[in-house]
Amino acid sequence: MRILVYGAGVIGCELAHMLVKAGNDVTLLARGAWKNTLEQNGLVIRHYAQLCTTTDRVRVIDALPPHYLYDLIFIVMQYGQLPDVLPAVAQNRSRYVVLVGNNPDAETALEVLTVHDSGREVAFGFQGTAGRRENGKVISIHAGVGMTVGAFQGRLSSAFQERLERAFDGVKYRLSWEENMDAWLKCHLALILPVSYVCYAVDCRLSKASRAQRKAILDAALEGCVMLRGLGVPIRTQDSEDYFRPGKKRRKMAAVLYIMAKTPLGRLAASDHCRHAALEMRALDAAFEKLRQKAGVPMPVWEQLRTQPGVIGAFTSAAEGRKS
């Protein structure tokens, strides 16, 4: 299959690697010095947990003309970058598009991508990969790659689902199907944002987070889920409030947070991401704040976490850096 991965960050590069491994004709869209590196050295990925390094030769472009047709387009960009990216993809005539990553406003993205073609099919996905780029290569952190994917609301067409399955045929890449990715993405942020708040409060060294701070993450996530449910957002079983209320599921989630905070894997997956993606986290925070204001539900623990000096400082610095 002829596939474009629009965005060559850590997630996009790992996705491109798996698609190449599955035998697809893959093109990466990248710009600047990173584009030059990819063209000269290939796509070099150090798979941190797997203790191996791979190199793939992929075609690299820096713009998407309307007449370049692909069987699939994966958009893998930070949420705050989407307003600059989506109009270009909307002009392209490729039919099947998957928007990968955090997105609290999937409805707007869907509207932009289908404004010129009401027959275009759009899916939303989330790939659990973290890491960073350094010295001309990608450091990829994962315990097995896969994607939670589905339609904005409802089911993907059988043709779209079959196309996605075919894209990863023959490789270990798990596709988990969802019928309401808008709800899934919002629920996901109810946990991710409190983690980021604590991360910034301890100067992006999550290992310094106290037990009380880790407890506050779960309490804030519960407040977030309750708020979303009040807005009519369906809370699915595995993302339910049970993981944040006292009991067996919460103890399991607390153990996951402890591992995230205290191990090198957690440092790379959470602390490094927050350090290098403050602008994205600021944009996600602002979008979630709109939901909070709409709900009008008291969220004292959440508010306490997001108004810590370290959080405000990180978001302010990110905004000032963008202006400069």
pLDDT digits (tens, 9 = 90+) for 40-56: 999 999 998 888 999 99
CATH of 2-179, one of 3.30.30.60, 3.40.50.720, 1.10.3720.10, 3.30.428.10: 3.40.50.720
Domain range annotation of the chain: 2-179, 183-323
Residues 287, 295: Cα–Cα separation, whole Å: 13
| DSSP SS3 for 130 | strand
Read off the pLDDT band of 237 (50, 70, 90). low
Read off the pLDDT band of 271 (50, 70, 90). confident
Mean pLDDT of 253-275: 83
| DSSP SS3 for 202 | coil
| DSSP SS3 for 67 | coil
Q: Which two tokens stand for residue 143?
A: 């315990």
pLDDT digits (tens, 9 = 90+) for 203-236: 999 889 999 999 999 999 999 999 999 999 987 6
For the chain, counts of helices (H) and of strands (E):
13, 12
Task: Collect all residues with Cβ–Cβ distance below 8 Å to 101 and sequence separation of at least 6.
Answer: 11, 76, 77, 78, 79, 125, 126, 127
Place of tokens 């708040």: 197
Residue 293 near residue 227, CB atoms below 8 Å? no
Q: Which two tokens stand for residue 170?
A: 């023959």
Whether the per-residue pLDDT at 240 is higher than 80: the answer is: no
Write down the pTM of the prediction.
Answer: 0.93
Alpha helices in 168-277 (DSSP H): 181-201, 211-230, 248-262, 264-266, 272-276
Per the DSSP assignment, residues forming a β-bridge with 5 are 28, 74
Whether the per-residue pLDDT at 238 is higher than 70: the answer is: no
DSSP conformational letter for 157: P
pLDDT digits (tens, 9 = 90+) for 90-123: 999 999 999 999 999 999 999 999 999 989 999 9
pLDDT digits (tens, 9 = 90+) for 127-160: 988 888 999 999 998 878 999 999 999 999 999 9
Q: Looking at residue 261, what is its pLDDT?
A: 86
Residues 136, 155: Cα–Cα separation, whole Å: 40
